[in-house]
Amino acid sequence: MLTLVTKGTVEERIDGLIAAKARLAANLVPEEDPRLFHRFTRDELRALLEP
């Protein structure tokens, strides 16, 4: 994906935050871990996602 962002702008800062969050998520939750989807019950997932 190509992203055009002007240097020194709010958009540049937001783009950096999005990239940092993506790297963090990739390090914490590897996609290739098949056990991840079986680790939480439906009720546990609901509890995690509730406000």
Give residue limits of the domains in the chain.
10-49
Report how far residue 10's alpha carbon sits from residue 3's, in angstroms, rounded to the nearest whole number.
14
Backbone region of residue 8 per phi and psi (left: phi > 0; alpha: psi in -120 to 50; beta: other values): left
State yes or no: pLDDT of 32 exceeds 80: no
Report how far residue 37's alpha carbon sits from residue 31's, in angstroms, rounded to the nearest whole number.
10
Report how far residue 23's alpha carbon sits from residue 41's, in angstroms, rounded to the nearest whole number.
26
DSSP letter at 29? Answer: S
Pairwise pLDDT comparison (37 vs 24), residue with the higher score: 24
Q: Tell me, what amino acid is at 8?
A: G
For the chain, percent of residues with pLDDT exceeding 70: 80
